[in-house]
Amino acid sequence: MEPLFGVVLALIVAAASPADDSCTCATNKWAVCAQDGPGNCICRLAGSDHPVDCSTLTSKCFLMKAEMMRLKEKRLWRPPQGVLDSDGIYNPDCEDSGAFKARQCNQSSTCWCVNSAGVRRTEKGGGSLNCSELVRTRWIYIELKHKRRSSAFHVPDVTKALTQLFESRYKLHPKYIAAIKYDPPLIQIRLHQNKKPSWDVDIADVAYYFEKDVNNDSVFHSNSKLAVSVNGDTLAIDKLWIYYVDEKPPEFCMRQLAAGISAVVTVVLLTAGVGIAVLLILRWLRTRTYKKFECKEMREMKATSSE
pLDDT in the model for residue 77: 41
Nearest CA to 20 among 6, 45, 39, 44?
A: 39
**pLDDT number for residue 177:** 96
Arithmetic mean of pLDDT, 234-244? 92
The mean pLDDT of 88-115, rounded to a whole number, is: 89
**In terms of Cα–Cα distance, which of 85, 86, 103 is closest to 94?**
103
Percentage of the chain modeled with pLDDT above 90: 46
Structural contact between residues 113 and 103, judged by C-beta atoms closer than 8 angstroms: yes
CA 56 remoteness from chain centre: 21
Domains of the chain: 137-250 (3.30.70)
Residues 173-192 have pLDDT tens digits of 999 999 999 999 999 999 99
Q: In terms of C-beta distances under 8 Å and separation of at least 24 residues, what long-range contacts does 146-149 make, across chains too?
A: 146/184, 146/185, 146/187, 146/235, 146/236, 146/237, 146/238, 147/185, 147/236, 147/237, 147/238, 148/185, 149/185, 149/233
Rounded CA-CA distance 34/39 in Å is 11
Distance from the Cα of residue 113 to its chain's centroid: 16
**Distances 118 to 62, 63, 90, 151, 203 between C-alpha atoms, Å:** 11, 11, 10, 39, 12
Predicted local distance difference test score (pLDDT) of residue 162: 96
* Residue 222, CA atoms < 13 Å, CB-side half-sphere: 7
- The length of the chain in residues reads 307
Average pLDDT of the residues in 247-262? 64
- pLDDT for 40 equals 85
Contacts of residue 244, Cβ cutoff 8 Å, sequence gap at least 6: 115, 117, 119, 137, 139, 140, 204
Greater confidence, 108 or 106? 106
* Residue among 165, 303, 287 at smallest CA distance from 227: 165
Question: For residues 77 and 100, is the Cβ–Cβ distance under 8 A?
Answer: no
DSSP state of 178: E
| pLDDT score of 257 | 44
pLDDT of residue 13: 38
Apex CA 267: angle with CA 266 and CA 271, to 5°? 115
Q: Which residue has the higher pLDDT, 15 or 169?
A: 169
Enter the pTM of the model.
Answer: 0.70
Mean pLDDT computed over 206-211: 95
Report which listed range, 1-5, 62-66, 201-205, 235-239, is most confident: 201-205
pLDDT at 268: 66
Q: What is the DSSP string of 7-75?
A: HHHHHHHHHHHHHHHH-S-TT-TT-EEEE-STT-EEEE-TTS--B--TTSPPPHHHHHHHHHHHHHHHS
Average pLDDT over residues 216-224: 84
3-state secondary structure of 82: coil
pLDDT (tens digit per residue) in 133-153: 999 999 999 999 999 888 999
The predicted pLDDT at position 270 comes to 72
Separation of alpha carbons 221 and 227, rounded Å: 16
Between the alpha carbon of residue 279 and those of residues 19, 147, 272, the distances in Å are 88, 54, 11
Q: Is residue 68 very low, low, confident or very high in pLDDT (cuts 50, 70, 90)?
A: confident
Question: Per-residue confidence at 83, pLDDT binned at 50, 70, 90?
Answer: very low
Residue-level pLDDT at 47: 66
What was the pLDDT predicted at 274? Answer: 77
| Residue 224: CA count within 13 A, CB half-sphere | 7
Q: Residue 253 has what pLDDT? A: 67
Measured between alpha carbons, how far is 60 from 152 in angstroms, rounded to an integer?
34
pLDDT band of residue 296 (cuts 50, 70, 90) is low
